[in-house]
Every structure is written in C-alpha cells, then in structure tokens.
Chains A and B, each alone.
Chain A
Amino acid sequence: MKRRIVMIYVGLLSGIVLCSGGCGTEANAGKDRIVAKVLADASAAPISEEAQDPGEGSLQQEEEEETDYVNGEEYVFPVGEVTLRTDMDADEAVEELGEYKSVFKAPSCAGEGTSYIYTYDSFEIETYPTEEGKNLIGYIILRDDTVATAEGIDLSMTRSDVIQTYGSGYEEAQNSITYEKNGTKLNFIFDGEELSSIEYVSAVIG
C-alpha cells in the first residue's frame, strides 16, 4: 500500500514537471501575446489581437521589394527613402531615419520594458516592447502637412478628400474615421471638416 501511495505522489509530481515542460511552449506563446500588448503608452487602449512577426516588415526586406504604396497590402508611411509601418522593428527604423529631435521614455509599471516616443520634424513614432526585448512601432503620428500618407493625404486636407481617396469602408467615432487593411490601421481625426491628425496605429496595441 505504501508503495502505491509513493507511486501516486511520484506520478503526480512527474505529471506536473512534464506538464511544466510540455505546456511551456504554448503557455509562453500566450505570454508573448500578452507582453507584446504591454504599454505602447500608458494612455493606449489596446485591442487583443495576436502580435505580428516582428521580422515581417524589416527595412532590408522593404528595400528589396518593388514599392506599391497605394495598392499595397498594408497601410504604410513613406518618409524619404524609408517606409514605415506599424509593428515593424522600431530600432531598425530609427537607425534608418537618422537623427530625431527628441526621445521620451515611458517605462512599464509592470516591469516589462519601456516604450519610446521618437519625435522628428514632421512626425512621431511610438514604440512598444516585446518579451524578446524588441521594440516595435505602435503608432506613427503625422504632425504637419509637409508629410503625407502613401496615398497622398496630408494635414492640409479635409474629410471629403480622405473619403474620396480611401473610400467609404471606414469605422467612425465621434471626430474620427479609421480604415483597416490587413491588421494595419489608419486613423484620421478631424476638427470639424478639417483634418487635425493622421495616425498609423498598430492593431496589436490599439
């Protein structure tokens, strides 16, 4: 009987240990999703969707491709020689973009990395950390009319210009409309009829 009890204990503990090892991958995958969502900024209102492969949108790969911004599969922001998109590697993008005006760091209260806000002359990039220690782009915000979306919309334009260019397939909030294409979001915010902000938003965090 004693032997049977010992066998039960050993069996249970082995089960736990095996489960720890065997379930680890799945559990970690779940945790990755959670951490990928952590703190694009303290003010973000994330939506729960799976993180994209961080390597998917690398600049190197971008250079090799023939760029077709307008008919592309995602919303992208071309700036000079660089093409930015949300959820791409932010460190690589920052290196390619060259000197920024300023950077602001917002560390996570949950001890899960830091988000960075890089300010350039006409736009801003906000990053979010992943568990693997990478920083991905969470937001790209266009700040003045010297830069435009790949489809040619800039801040000097109006609501009707936007709808004429992007069509009627948008989601509407109080003062904004949002277009979504393959997990990338393009958000237009208005002050009356005038455009007041253009944002590329990661579907992972917001």
Chain B
Amino acid sequence: MIKYEKVYVSVEIKVDTQGYENLLSLEWEDGRIFFIDKTLSERMSPPAHVGAVLTKRYDVVIEGRERTLYRETTTNRWFVEKPLII
C-alpha cells in the first residue's frame, strides 16, 4: 500500500519584469537541490492525497520526469506529496 506524506520544500523562483514567475529549483528535505527544467501547467487544484486548502498545482519537469508541486495560496508555502510504501 502507498501512503502519502506532505513534505514542505523550499523553492527558488525568478520573477521577471512582467511579473511572471519562473520556477527554477527546489530543495528537498535532505538538502539536495533539484533543477526544474520546465513548468508544464499551473492551476488551482487540491492535492490528491494530503490535506490542504486553496492550493495551486504546478506540473513541472525535473530531470526529465514529470513531478507535481503545490503552493498553499493562503500561506505561500510549497509542498510535495511524498509517496511511502508501507
């Protein structure tokens, strides 16, 4: 069975002169930095497995693989759903 855990992460964002945000990288809980190659989409959407309200979902490509990040719009904290096999 897979269980999901909510893990808050640091993200690096560049805001351009037009006010657009570009996601550059995220720092995993163990300190490793992963570069975000591309943001595929962003939209309001609740996470599938963990608790949160008013979240924005970002589908991104990290090292060639599709991953999903969430931003709590009320707190501006970012998190991922970390799968745990139990």
The answer on A and B forming one complex is no
A residues lining the B interface (CB < 8 Å): none
